Structure 1
Amino acid sequence: MVPNGNYSAYSRYLTPFGIRRARLDHLLPIGTARCIDLQTPSRLTGTPARLSAVSTATGPRILVVDDEPNIVEVVSMALRYQGFEVATAANGAEAHAQVEAFRPQLLVLDVMLPDTTGFEIAERLGAQRSSIPIIFLTARDAQEDKLRGLTTGGDDYMTKPFSLEELVARIRTILRRTGQGSDESNRMVFEDLELDDDTREVLRAGQPIDLTATEYRLLRYLLSNPRRVLTRAQILDHVWEYDFGGDARVLETYISYLRKKLDAHGPGLIHTVRGVGYALRAPR
């Protein structure tokens, strides 16, 4: 615990196994819980009345899925104070039930769960044609895990230990991209391809096309730059905002997914520019 109540002297320290000390100065109000100690995981320091006030939120709906109570508690508190409406789940069964009942606009999803993995949850949601954005938040930091997460429907991948401020910022960025954080109206048209940001509807030759959140974001970026050659680095930077260490396999995989869906209703629109990247162009 923090000696003499001096929380400002401590930095965040969120470990893969729990939270030893977590500084929440910038995310929670004065008088609320600031510190969770690993030895007393369920005890929060602060004023109970202030804690209950934090739980009332009517902003975008976030589902936090993690079997570590400390992580769930501190992330939920931070998100609620930032104006989000939060629900939680400790395993895969609860997560799927909450998706149906709570209808989240974004998932913060652990990979290692008691009854399944976050990857399997993402794959199942994808099979159900869900477009709910997903941020994986996990202790698994191997490159193959990151690639698997981002190619099974994940929109971002963060590893523990992590920064609460960064998590909140990434959530807001993804919500803006997917249209959940903005009231702006926008409809994009190229040839016989249409994308409506208000309804998240995509049409090709008048036929609806079901896209995952990442596929939708990738297509939107291409539509925002018609006929322009976009490098792989530009696309990765804009669509994922993630450092792949030069590995573009995840982009190639999603381009393949997108082409398969779009080309089922007409000639190819996404063209490969060898050695450079991709461009959205009229059929040859």
Structure 2
Amino acid sequence: MTIMVVEDDPDIGSLLRRGLGEEGYEVSVVESGGAALHEARRLAPQAVILDVMLPDQTGVDVCRALRAEGFSMPIVMLSAKAAIGDRAEGLAAGADDYVVKPFAFDELVARLKTHMLRRAEMPQAARYVTAGPMSLDLETRVARLGEAETRFTERECALLVLLMRAAGRPIARGDIFDALWADQGGASLNVVDVYVGYLRHKLGELTPGGQQLIVTVRGRGFMFRPPES
């Protein structure tokens, strides 16, 4: 399996090339956003480790461009920026994970393997989740309603799946956090509200009539309300 590393620091690039090689991966290291896009089109890597601060453009922009071109491989971002807002920006751009520098190599590899394993073990029969006339493809993370479609990040998709599978029943904010963010160091409960906001915005692309698919049930949490046929 090939992993593309996008990192302009030669020491970190060398560390990742050597360490991932010892883990049995083929590794391609590039040092700029432009080179990353070219290499991704050439190699179609199974995963990407992407630095945020690059000489020609940000890793966030590269991540958005990769997702816009339809690449669905796991993307793990690396950055010295540790603020919640910076993490949220990276995840909203389509990254699957966000690791803060300085990082522990073993933890980075464990996170990367987890995301790759999720892709590999996804049963074909369980590829789609449906609620009313809307379907969500778990492999591509694309939701469709009629002729309209929109794509989600992995964390957005996980939240949407949770809500869709409980369609018509509210899920408490704390239960959502425990299911999706309890293992994320530094995350706080308001991350649930942030991601519900992301979902509402993207789902609005499917329902131009203004129908709200995720509603707030006072004192009980959030509920997915299937779209009308």
TM-score (ref. length: structure 1): 0.66
Specify every segment of 5 or more residues in structure 1 that has no aligned partner in the other structure, as ranges.
Answer: 1-58
Residue equivalent to 1:251 = 195
Q: Among residues 255, 261, 264, which one is paired with 2:205 in the alignment?
A: 261
Q: Among residues 88, 103, 121, which one is paired with 1:182 in the alignment?
A: 121
How far did 1:247 drift?
Answer: 3.4
Asked if structure 2 preserves the Cα contact closer than 8 Å seen for 1:64 and 1:108, the reply is: yes
Structure number, greater radius of gyration: 1
Residue equivalent to 1:137 = 78
Residue equivalent to 2:40 = 99
1:188-234 deviation per Cα after TM superposition (whole angstroms, max 9, x unaligned): 222112234456553323x3623033343332333343334233344
Tell me the SS of whatever aligns to 2:215: strand
Q: Distance in 2 between matches of 1:260 and 1:132?
A: 25
Listed as ranges, the matches of 1:166-205 within 5 Å are 166-177=107-118, 180-182=119-121, 184-185=123-124, 186=126, 187-197=128-138, 202-205=143-146
Listed as ranges, the matches of 1:1-284 within 5 Å are 59=1, 61-128=2-69, 130-177=71-118, 180-182=119-121, 184-185=123-124, 186=126, 187-197=128-138, 202-205=143-146, 207=147, 209-214=149-154, 215-239=156-180, 241-242=183-184, 243-248=186-191, 250-264=194-208, 267-274=211-218, 276-283=220-227
CA distance 1:195–1:282, shift in 2 (3 Å):
closer
Q: Distance in 2 between matches of 1:87 and 1:151?
A: 25
Choose between structure 1 and 2: higher helix proportion: 2
Which amino acid is 2:187 matched to?
A: F
| 117-126 vs 196-205, which moves further | 196-205
How far did 1:275 drift?
Answer: 5.1
Specify every segment of 5 or more residues in structure 2 that has no aligned partner in the other structure, as ranges.
Answer: none
CA RMSD of aligned residues (A): 2.9
How far did 1:127 drift?
Answer: 4.2
Asked if structure 2 preserves the Cα contact closer than 8 Å seen for 1:66 and 1:89, the reply is: yes
TM-score (ref. length: structure 2): 0.80
Name the count of aligned residue pairs.
Answer: 222
